[in-house]
Amino acid sequence: MEKFEKVTGIAAPMPLVNIDTDMIIPKQFLKTIKRSGLGVNLFDEMRYDDKGNENPDFVLNKPAYRDAQILIAGDNFGCGSSREHAPWALADFGIRVIVSTSYADIFYNNCFKNGLLPIILPEEQVEVLMKDAEKGANARMEVDLEAQTITASDGESFRFEIDPFRKHCLLEGLDDIGLTLEKAAAIDTFEAQAAQARPWV
C-alpha cells in the first residue's frame, strides 16, 4: 500500500447526503476481485446516461474536477452494503481523501485498509471546505496526515482526529498483509520451533 503523508490537490464538492456504496460502485461491477479498473465506473449511475455518455452536470465529469484527489461529501457517506469495491473504485479514480461529518462504520474501516483517509469534521467546517471546493481547479487544498490538518485554498486550516494506529498504518503504507509481514521473522521462528517440537504435524 502506498504511504500516505501529504496530499495537495483539487477538491470536488459533493454535498449529497446518504451516498451509499451502490451509488459509489453499482452491484454489476462487483464481479472482479482486482482493485484496479473500477475507477471508470465510480458513481456510474450519476456519471453516465443510459447510453454510456457522460453526464456533463456531474461534478467529476466537469473539467475542473476530473483530477480531483479530495472529495468533500455530505453526511453518512458510504452507507449501505459492505462492499470493499467502494474504496477500491475511489482509489482507482484517484481520490485519496474524503471529508464528511459522518461515515458508515464498515466503509470507514475499509478506507483505511485501502490507503484512503476518511476525515470527520464538524458540519460548519465541512461547509467551509465545500464552499472552497466549489471554486474549482484553482482552489487546491492540502491534507497533512502527520500534522492532522486540512488547509483550504485561502489558508484556513482545520485539525482532524484520527486513531493513532490507523495513522501509523497510513503513514507507513501498511495494510493487513503489510502488518503481518512486519512479524515475518517471529512467524518463521515460531514455525521452526513448532516443526521441531511436533514433526508429525
> What is the reported pLDDT for 180?
62
- Per-residue pLDDT tens over the stretch 125-154: 999 999 999 999 888 999 999 999 999 999
- Per-residue pLDDT tens over the stretch 19-33: 999 999 999 998 887
- Per-residue pLDDT tens over the stretch 171-194: 999 876 666 666 667 777 777 787
Enter the pTM of the model. 0.87
> What is the reported pLDDT for 147?
98
> What is the reported pLDDT for 110?
95
How much is the mean pLDDT over the chain?
A: 92
d(CA 12, CA 140): 10
Ordered DSSP codes for 39-74? GGGTTHHHHB-TTS-B-TTSGGGSGGGTT--EEEE-
> What is the reported pLDDT for 175?
73
Contacts of 154 (CB under 8 A, 6+ apart): 132
d(CA 25, CA 42): 5
> What is the reported pLDDT for 198?
85
Residue 92 contacts residue 31 (beta carbons within 8 Å): no
Contacts of 96 (CB under 8 A, 6+ apart): 4, 7, 9, 69, 70, 115, 116, 117, 143
How would residue 77 be classed by pLDDT, with cut points 50, 70 and 90?
A: very high
